[in-house]
Amino acid sequence: MGQAIIPVDVYMLTLYMEEIVWDQNTAQLRLAQDQSEERQRQATVQIAAYQQVKAAHTNKKVKAREFQIGDLVLKHVIRSIEVKNVGKLGANWEGPYTVVAKGGKGSYTVTP
């Protein structure tokens, strides 16, 4: 039987391992972590700014409407609560409903 041979790499330290200073390494890791958190904060700010621009672009296409108490309106069907087995040919609107009260920010209370 032959003898087990251990690779030479196990005994020889690499240049990287010889030159590393552990105190500096820890400090550099902390600095990298701080920079990582700063980049994350900057990304969050950029995302918020982008979302504001997109919202402004979308909202400029919206036509605001005021309804008075007693007006007849149609209500959009929300797909998650609509009657099952209607399929894609089902109505998108239901109603008419009567506006009975105004709420805040353009909301209304309606009754059938």
**Is-contact 90 76, C-beta < 8 A?**
no
Please give the average per-residue pLDDT across 64-73, as a whole number.
89
Model pTM above 0.85: no
Q: What is the pLDDT of residues 30-59, one digit of tens each?
A: 888 888 888 899 999 999 999 999 999 988
**Is-contact 57 71, C-beta < 8 A?**
no
- Lateral strand order in the sheet of 72-76: 72-76, 93-102, 108-111
Domain ranges of the chain: 15-59, 72-111
